[in-house]
Each structure stands twice: as C-alpha cells, then as structure tokens.
Amino acid sequence: MKRIGMLTSGGDCQALNAAMRGVVKTLAHSGEAVEIYGFLDGYKGLIYGNFQMLTGKDFSGILTKGGTILGSSRTPFKTIQEPDENGLDKVDAMKQNYFKLRLDVLVVLGGNGSHKTANLLREEGLNIVTLPKTIDNDLWGTDMTFGFQSAVDIATECIDCIHTTAASHGRVFIVEVMGHKVGWLTLNAGMAGGADIILLPEIPYDIKKVVQKIEEREKNGSKFTIIAVAEGAISKETAKLSKKEQKKKAAESKYPSVSYEVADEIFKRTGREVRVTVPGHTQRGGSPCPYDRVFASRLGAEAGKLILKGEYGFMVGYRNREIVKVPLDEVAGKLKYLDPKSTIIEEAKLLGISFGD
C-alpha cells in the first residue's frame, strides 16, 4: 500500500488537473494498492491538516478541466518558517501532518516559490516529488512548464482580436501580458500575434526607441501599431535604480501598470491615440490546450513512475524534448530568465520586431 499526499500551490493554471490525473492513473494501473490524500488550498491544507481522501473517480473527467480540483493558495516561502498568527510552527505542522497520515510521498504541483518550500520539506526528511506548473515558464531545470502553452494561446488570441480594431481605427494598441520577472509568455504571444514592439523585463526599454518604431511604421504606410508589454517591463531609467528605489517609484506611480505609463509617454511624444488592453487572469483560465493536456499527462505519468520506484527528491522536468528527473536542490530558488542575446530574440529582431532597446 502506497499512501500519496498531493497538493497544488501558488497561482492556478491550466492542466493542473491533467497532471494530477496522470499521476493517479499511472499508480492505479500499476496494480499496487494506493491511497490518495488531497490537501486543500495548497500548503495551507498541509499546515492545518485540511485534506480529502480521493479515489480514482475523483480524477475521472478532469483532463480538460481548468483550475484545480484541490484548490490553491499562495504561501510565500519568505514567511514559511515564521509562526502563524496563533504561534503555530508551519514547517513543523506540515511535517506532523505528513507523518500522522503515514505518507510515503508528497506530490507538489507548483512554481518557483512552491519548489522552495518543497525543497525545504525534503531537507526536513519528507519524500517529495514535484511537477512544474506556471504560465510564466520561468522554473529552472525544465525547458517547459505546463500551463505556459495554454496561456500563450489565450494571450495570442487577445492580440489577434486587437489587430482588427487597431487596423480599423489606425490606433496604437498595447496588450499587457502576464509576467512580472520574466518575458517568455509575452515574447511568444507577441511573436505569434504579430506584435510590432515587445517590451520585456529582461530588456529595459528606451521610450524614444518605442516612439521611433511607431513613427517608422507610420512613414511606411502602417497606420496602427501593436505593442505587447510584459507587466514587469522596465524602462532603462528605472533599471538603473536600486531595487528599493524601484519599489518606491512603483508605489508612488500614478499609473495602474507599466502599460499605462508607456501609453501616456507615447501620447505625449506623438499625439497618437493609445489604447491599453489587459487580458489579466483570463490567461490562467479555461480548458488546457491539447499540447498542455498531453504534456501534463506525460509529466504526471513519469511522476507516478518515480513514486513506484521509490525515487524521491526530484522535479519531473522537460529537457531537449525528453522527460527527465531533476534534483530539487538544483531547482529551488532559481528563475529561468530569458537571455537578451538568445537566438529567439535575434530572430524576432530579424523579423522587424522592436524591443525598445
């Protein structure tokens, strides 16, 4: 009998259910008796012992379902070792609940912060297997995370829709795409949607270069411009500030987000009408795309195989088109940034896309 704990932590995304289904179906088809304990609302469920006993029926029919049947929440790693408001030691509570249920392994589906906590629990003696989820595709140790391709599809469709109204009215349109620290999602959606300018956190922009691109297009007969902006995009001026100064500037800003600041700067310098569209959390929602259904199922199946073999302390990742196991201590605490000198950036520039640099 194997006793499996499972939780989904951090922001939700598409294919979380597909990944869990992959784990459970693999274990069920192995012929070994299994008990599944689903912790509700991420690490909170593990901390406070809030769980449900699950059976194979609970994972039936969820391949195409978005979100997570277990619920999720953000439990920041920077406060995980601090007592809660009632003085409860959260790490100790998680360990106690793990051992109280006599679990053989805890399966964690999460992003960067969730992997930090997962690695901490591994260091505390718990058997851990993780799966890489995030629409940002910023998790170290894997070329791809599930949820990413579905979010790219949604953001791309938004840009596609903007094209028709932008062309009709001859306006500059900004589409703000999710991504505070990395630009994978904005880059891919921007290229797929035919954006003329893409602004990313990894490539600080010069607003003069942005305006120059708009004016070049107008001179060449293009009456409209599409700009894909990552929510974490940053100007060259702001990039020169310290992190503390950047936070202060953001707190004092009159703009809801960087996209509105860019829009205002363009209007001041050109007099052109600029419209901002923010698809927001729609990028996390809805049914997973076919790619993510297959990808998450493969990752879940490999996680199930690791559990059956008793191989713990790994994230199931994807490298060079193969599913691989990556030691958790290599993953935790690292972000996979987009290299400004990467070939995909070079190729985008060959296509005439400006990054404002």
Q: Which residues are catalytic?
A: 136
Residue 163 to residue 327: CA distance in whole angstroms: 44
The tokens 């069920």 sit on which residue?
Answer: 28
Q: Give CA 76 to chain center in angstroms.
A: 15
Residues 121 and 106 sit within 8 Å (Cβ to Cβ):
yes
Beta bridge mates, 133: 146
Q: What burial class does residue 269 get, using C-beta atoms within 10 Å of its C-beta: 0-12 exposed, 13-18 middle, 19+ buried? A: middle
Residue 66 to residue 196: CA distance in whole angstroms: 31
